[in-house]
Amino acid sequence: MLKIIFMGTADFGGSVLEKLADSKENKLMVVTQPDRPQGRGRKILPTPIKKVALSKGLEVFQPENINDEESLKTLKEFNPDIILVVAYGQILSRHILNVPKLGCINIHGSFLPKYRGAAPINRAIINGEKETGITFMFMNEKVDAGDIIFQEKIDIFPDETCGELYYRLSALSADSLPKLLKKVKSGKIEGIPQDIKLVTFARKMNKEDGKIDWSDKGEKVYNLIRGTIPYPGAFTYYHGRKLKITRVRFLDDYQGETDTGSSSPKPGRVVKTEKDAILISTGDKGIIKILKLIPAGSKELTAEQFVNGYKIKAGDILG
């Protein structure tokens, strides 16, 4: 029986924890961030990992600082074989990294050494990558820089959003977990150093990262929108009102009729409104079809509802 400390906070690690708990083969301790105020009502709520842990009858440890003396003492008393970290949200000190017999192992949502950092899934889509994956690696004191134990690669679907890819990678992590545990139990768990020459970084997303520049090429605009759904959200403006774009499609070489009378309309111009879409021009022949959006202070609307309610028409400009 392995003694495993699972550290996680975001729901990305939920399926991994469920798989660990359901196997009944290992002794588990769960560590997650403290309950915090969330949402518009700022109601104090448990983390997604805490919810999973409690549903499985597991005890939960929620230190404000994982690296303080009390936390270190608690972890040492458990005497783990490994610490498995999945989207936990605190940097582990050298003292914590040295607690488990076989090491601290992290599951990261990219095919390392590409996209080290906080937002690998967003950045992979925004940058137009065609494939990505997950990496199981040993942790060291540098972020996402440890030796690779093994990796799994998947294609990114052409219309896939960040949210959709996030949950596919989460499921892939859980499906790959038995492979890791087999290596741990065999005692043949080795790591391969990352190639420093191939390292890229995926810095944390902020709300301004979602601002659409309609003068960019259509595919770049489309990738930005896909890569920011659901967070931080892609946005533009119409008559001074912020519009959050929540569902789109892309026409890479639009040959249809426009209602503007121009074959090369200004980027950001409404070229046509259809029953289920608003067609917006970009910096090339690419057209963004807006299917759903959220005007500031409103609920999500279909394109048809927005056209009817806000009277947007061909020739109007977004920006």
Reported confidence tier of residue 101, pLDDT bands at 50, 70, 90? very high
27 has pLDDT over 80? yes
Q: Alpha-carbon distance 12 to 137, whole Å?
A: 17
pLDDT interval class at 209 (50, 70, 90): very high
**Judgement on whether residues 266 and 155 belong to the same structural domain of the protein:** no
Q: Which of 165, 198, 231 is the endpoint of a domain? A: 198
Of the candidates 226, 244, 228, the one whose C-alpha atom is nearest the C-alpha of residue 300 is: 244
Residue 258 binned pLDDT confidence (cut-offs 50, 70, 90)? low
CATH number of the domain at 211, please.
Answer: 3.10.25.10
Are 240 and 192 part of one and the same domain?
A: no
Please tell me whether residues 258 and 187 are part of one structural domain. Answer: no
Using pLDDT thresholds of 50, 70 and 90, give the confidence band for residue 41.
confident
When pLDDT is cut at 50, 70 and 90, the band that residue 262 belongs to is low
The tens digit of pLDDT for each residue in 125-165 reads 999 999 999 999 999 999 999 999 999 999 999 999 999 99
Domain range for 229 is 207-310
Q: Is residue 137 domain-shared with residue 229, that is, in the same domain? A: no
Model pLDDT, residue 132: 98
Mean pLDDT, to the nearest integer, of 34-51? Answer: 90
* 319 domain-assigned: no
Structural domains of the chain, count: 2
pLDDT at position 257: 59
* 75's tokens: 């972890």
User: Cα–Cα distances in Å, from 188 out to 139, 179, 180, 191, 278?
Assistant: 17, 12, 10, 10, 56
Structure tokens at 298: 């409103």
Please compute the mean of the pLDDT values over residues 92-121 and round it to a whole number. 97
Tokens linked to 312: 């947007």
Among 157, 162, 156, 176, CA closest to 107: 176
Q: Which pLDDT belongs to residue 261? A: 56
pLDDT of 254 reads 75
Whether 177 and 57 map to the same domain: the answer is: yes
Least confident span in 121-135, 147-161, 214-228, 252-266: 252-266
Residue 315 located in a structural domain: no
Question: Band of the pLDDT at 260, cuts 50, 70, 90?
Answer: low
Angle at 207 between CA 118 and CA 250, to 5 degrees: 95
